[in-house]
Amino acid sequence: MEETIGVTEAAQIPQQRGEQLLDHAVRYAEERHWDVFPGTWLEAAGTREHCSCGDADCAAPGAHPARPDWATQATGSATAARRLWGKHPRASILLPTGRTFDALDVPESAGFLALARMERMELPLGPVTRTPDRRMLFFVLPGATPKVPELIRGLGWAPSSVDLVARGEGHYVAAPPTRVGGHGAVQWARRPTAANRWLPDAEELISPLAYACGREAVAARTRGV
């Protein structure tokens, strides 16, 4: 069974160094054939950090596109990635969805519950990220976004009642070790390996994910949240 990073290990946030970011961006392009593009980055301001975009109320400081044409800037070339991060070595690493993968985005608590169930069921799994705002993203084959609402309905849930979002064309995800200001770094809950190069279809993962999200929604209503 492939190693899953536990909460304790994942909580150990690495320092985001320029060289480390460049190396990771190049590996994603070179080894996984993922398109990558540089986003904003964190800048020191006294004892605090702020987003390079200059917005004091930035919702994702240091981890969002730096320019509106980011979709055309994204590249799967390791050479181009070296050039881009050579210009902006502190830039976050962002991956466009809807190309080589889509991402199923769920709350962290539901994600860990579903992940444990998937492993017991020996379901095929791709890489999974864990974000500092307590979300988990499961990488699946592209094309998941239009299918997910109907798949959820087929399991007896209303799509609006469960916190499960598919990210596809026109969206992006932040890749480790990108840091989000004031929160920490994006981590791998399941790292990219040779064993998970072939991604599962959303249909293979939707049942345990929807079940875990639905269970969390019921618990939240019970608590009066």
- Give the residue numbers spanning the domain of 167: 13-223
Q: Is the pTM of this model over 0.75?
A: yes
**Which two tokens mark 128?**
């999974």
Q: Is residue 195 domain-resident?
A: yes
Smallest CA-to-CA distance from 6 within 183, 188, 131 is with 188
The string of pLDDT tens digits covering residues 114-141 is 999 999 999 999 999 999 999 999 999 9
Other beta carbons within 10 angstroms of residue 6's beta carbon come to: 10
The string of pLDDT tens digits covering residues 74-86 is 999 999 999 999 9
217 vs 225: CA distance, rounded Å: 9
The string of pLDDT tens digits covering residues 64-75 is 999 999 999 999
Question: Which neighbouring-strand residues pair with 37?
Answer: 94
Q: Is residue 193 domain-resident?
A: yes
145 SS3 class: coil
CA-based R_g, the chain, Å = 17
Residue with tokens 């290990």: 9
Q: Is residue 1 domain-resident?
A: no
Length of the chain: 225
The string of pLDDT tens digits covering residues 89-115 is 999 999 999 999 999 999 999 999 999
54 vs 52: CA distance, rounded Å: 5
pLDDT at 5 over 50: no
The string of pLDDT tens digits covering residues 20-67 is 999 999 999 999 999 999 999 999 877 788 999 999 899 999 999 999
Q: Is residue 31 domain-resident?
A: yes
Q: Is residue 47 domain-resident?
A: yes
User: How confident is the model at residue 12, as a pLDDT?
Assistant: 35
Domain total of the chain: 1
pLDDT at 3 over 50: no
Q: Is residue 4 domain-resident?
A: no
Backbone angles phi, psi at 2, to 5 degrees: -75, 145
Which of 26 and 224 is assigned the larger pLDDT? 26
User: How confident is the model at residue 224, as a pLDDT?
Assistant: 66
Q: Is residue 116 domain-resident?
A: yes
Residue with tokens 């976050």: 92
User: How confident is the model at residue 193, as a pLDDT?
Assistant: 94
41 vs 174: CA distance, rounded Å: 12
Q: Is residue 6 domain-resident?
A: no
User: How confident is the model at residue 225, as a pLDDT?
Assistant: 52
